[in-house]
Structure formats: structure tokens, C-alpha cells
Amino acid sequence: MLSTGPLQLRLLSCVTILLVFHAVVAKKDLKSACSTCRQITDNFNKGFDRTAKQNFGGGNTAWEERKLSKYETSEIRLVEILEELCESSSFECNQMVEENEELFETWWFKRKTKNPDLHKWFCVETLKVCCPKGTFGPDCTACVGGSEKPCHGRGACDGDGTRGGNGKCSCDHGYKGDHCLDCTDGFFNAERNDTFSLCAECHAACKTCDGASSQDCDECKEGWEEDDQEACVDVNECARDPSPCKEEEYCLNSEGSYSCKACDEACSGCSGAGSDECQACANGYRHVEGSCKDIDECSEPEAVCTQEHQECLNTHGSYRCLCSAGFQDQDGECVQTQDQDQTEEPGSPDAAENSHGEL
């Protein structure tokens, strides 16, 4: 795309691509900052559970017992949790933790009791990289359908729970529209009001419909046609003249479609599978009791392979003439195979020895 056209056009395309790229990256950053933050708070909660049974280590003295009750809320426990928040390879995660270490201390020592939900306090309210569930964008706007049931429960709201996104719904299969209350082709509204929609699948015969049966089609699907009772019924493509299949194939009808299958090798044209469905027999086959059977040319009264030292081999639909054992084909005649021992090949060990002796 960039390799053709005048220089200005090429530069323009470059600039456009860069701008679009930047816009996409910026939008993605807002979503990914939230997902990084969520990962951190999820790992914090895991670390909190993991350290629940721990203590300062060592024996179980009275002094330890006293200390043990304090490990729960200790700085040491916090540090142990903080150490396990990020994969070492995740730059974004480690950066977010490093930049906000003090915040974790503040929450740990001062806010935990009043704000037990760390994700809400840290990611939503303090860092403001996330939004509450069901809301999106810089101001945490409610998704279409309200934050309780984004997209009326029939889709995903873009940017849901993050400071990014545009709040548009991507509807589940069968649903469409800005509100995910409409049904796509092949589905109909089984239930519907301003806030709730249930889309059910049409009958296989319908492209569009307003009910579940083949009589409720608005339009028949390809391979189906309306009958005189206004229902969509299967079209029998195989009954068409000419047949939709090739000469050496037969047609198999199915609901809404058809397929073409190869005839048996015994047939020349057929109406179904097997050698008993032939229209005529293929060369080398003949009718025997209602089906096409291979002709054994070798046993026919009219003799074949009549040359001397020839034998006949029957094959499917034909036969071959072979030379008998000890004979081989030479220009269309079967001649006796020369005995290996009687052959004197030049350059053989014997010949070489002989020439040595002569010298």
C-alpha cells in the first residue's frame, strides 16, 4: 500500500497510520492500566490469604504468642504480600507498585477497616484508573442499560470497569442494536419490553421470522421455498431437470441443501449408490440379475491373450495380457528369459581374470 503512489500521498498515509495508531494505543492504555491495577489488587488478596496462617517463625513461646497476634497487621506481613504482587517481567505492574508503595502502607495501617475492598479504594477511588462495575470512561459513565445490567444483560459494554472505552455494546449471539434488545436475522423476539429482550432461534427453514415454526418465516432461507400453506418447505434440488450433479454422479437431497456423490465404478450414470443403481453399465461390466457385474474377459468364449506363452489376468472393468513365468515381453512377443548363469557380461570378474592371463 505504501510502496506505490506519489511521495506526498505516501507521507500522508504514514501520518494517518501514526495518528490512528496513537489513538488506539492511548485508548488501550486506559483499559490496560485498569487491568494492571486489578491484577495487583487480586494478587494482594491472594497474598493476604497465603500469609493468613503465618507468623514470625521460630518457637511457640509466650513471647512469640504475643507477637503472633500482631503479625496479622504487621509491616512484615505487608512486605511479604507486596513482594509477590507482580511477575518480575511485567514492567507496567512493577512500576505501578513502586510508584504507590506508600499508598499500600496507608491502606494497610489506616484505611483497611473502613475500606476493606482494596480494588475499589486503590484502583477506582485513589488512582482513578478503574471505574465501578457497569461504568466506563474518564467520568465512570453508566453503560447503556444502566450499571446494574450493562447492555440489558445481552452484551458487553466497551471499557466496562475501566477509565477507557466508549461504552458501546457488543451484543451476544442473536442480539443486535445499540441496546442489544433487537434480534439478528434467524432470531425472533420471544419476549420484549423496554429493558428486557429474549431472542430465540427461528426454524431452520427461515431466514427471518416472528415465531418458532416453519410457518412463522418472514422470508425462507436459501434451499427452502414457500408452499401453498405459506410455510417454508425444503426444495428438492435433485428433482430439477437437468440434475444439478455431473454425469457420473448421483444427487442426494437434504434439508435446505443437496450433495453430489460419485457413481459406482460399474455404472455409466446412476440414480444412487451401488452397482444396482446404474442407468447403464460401464465398459467392461454387464447386467447380471439387476446390477452391473465385471466381465471376466479371460473366461469369455471369445478368447483374448492368444499369443504363445501369454496368460490372461482379469481386472475391474478390463483385463491384462502377461507373459508366463520364465518369459518376458520383447517388442510385443513373449520370449524366454535368458538364464543368468549363461550370460557373459563384459567387465565381470571372470572376464577380467582371463585378460590378465593373456597378458
Ligand X SMILES: *[C@@H]1O[C@H](CO)[C@@H](O)[C@H](O)[C@H]1NC(C)=O
Taking phi first (over 0 means left), then psi (-120 to 50 degrees means alpha), and beta for anything else, what does residue 246 get? beta
**Shortest separation between residue 194's beta carbon and ligand X, angstroms:** 6
Which three cell numbers mark 65? Answer: 504468642
Which three cell numbers mark 128? Answer: 482513578
Q: How many CB atoms lie within 10 A of CB 287?
A: 12
Is residue 311 within 8 Å of 320, Cβ to Cβ?
A: no
Closer to ligand X by Cβ: residue 189 or 253:
189
Q: Is 148 one of the binding residues for ligand X (CB under 6 A)?
A: no
Q: Which range of residues in 124-132, 189-197, 316-324, 342-350 is near ligand X by CB under 6 A?
A: 189-197
Closer to ligand X by Cβ: residue 139 or 194:
194
Q: Is 196 one of the binding residues for ligand X (CB under 6 A)?
A: yes
CB half-sphere exposure, 40, CA atoms < 13 A: 33
Is residue 296 within 8 Å of 284, Cβ to Cβ?
A: no
Q: Is 194 one of the binding residues for ligand X (CB under 6 A)?
A: yes
Q: Which range of residues in 175-183, 194-202, 203-211, 294-302 is near ligand X by CB under 6 A?
A: 194-202
**Shortest separation between residue 218's beta carbon and ligand X, angstroms:** 24
Closer to ligand X by Cβ: residue 21 or 196:
196
Which residue among 191, 339, 350, 358 contacts ligand X (CB under 6 A)? 191
Closer to ligand X by Cβ: residue 136 or 187:
187
Main-chain dihedrals φ then ψ at residue 320, nearest 5 degrees: -130, 145
Q: Is 146 one of the binding residues for ligand X (CB under 6 A)?
A: no
Which residue among 54, 195, 299, 315 contacts ligand X (CB under 6 A)? 195
CB-based contacts of 321: which residues, under 8 Å, 6+ apart? 304, 305, 307, 310, 311, 312, 313
Interface residues with ligand X (CB under 6 A) are 191, 193-196
